[in-house]
Chain A
Amino acid sequence: AAGVIQSPRHLIKEKRETATLKCYPIPRHDTVYWYQQGPGQDPQFLISFYEKMQSDKGSIPDRFSAQQFSDYHSELNMSSLELGDSALYFCASSFVEGPSGANVLTFGAGSRLTVL
Chain B
Amino acid sequence: AQSVAQPEDQVNVAEGNPLTVKCTYSVSGNPYLFWYVQYPNRGLQFLLKYITGDNLVKGSYGFEAEFNKSQTSFHLKKPSALVSDSALYFCAVTLIYNQGGKLIFGQGTELSVKP
Q: Bound pair: A and B?
A: yes
CB-CB nearest in chain B for A107 = B43
CB-CB nearest in chain A for B91 = A42
Chain B, interface size: which category?
A: 20 to 34
A31 within 8 A of B: yes
A100 to B104, CA, bound (A): 20
A51 to B36, CA, bound (A): 25
Most buried by A among B42, B43, B46, B94: B43
Which residue of A4, A45, A48, A101 is within 8 Å of B43 (Cβ)? A4
User: 19 other contacts beyond A51-B99, A102-B34, with CB at 8 A cut-off?
Assistant: A33-B103, A42-B108, A43-B44, A43-B90, A48-B100, A48-B102, A50-B99, A55-B100, A56-B102, A101-B97, A103-B32, A103-B96, A103-B97, A103-B101, A104-B46, A105-B44, A109-B41, A109-B42, A109-B43
A residues engaging B (CB < 8 A)?
Answer: 4, 30-31, 33, 41-45, 48, 50-51, 55-56, 58, 90, 92, 94, 96, 100-110
B residues engaging A (CB < 8 A)?
Answer: 32, 34, 36, 41-46, 49, 51-52, 90, 94, 96-108
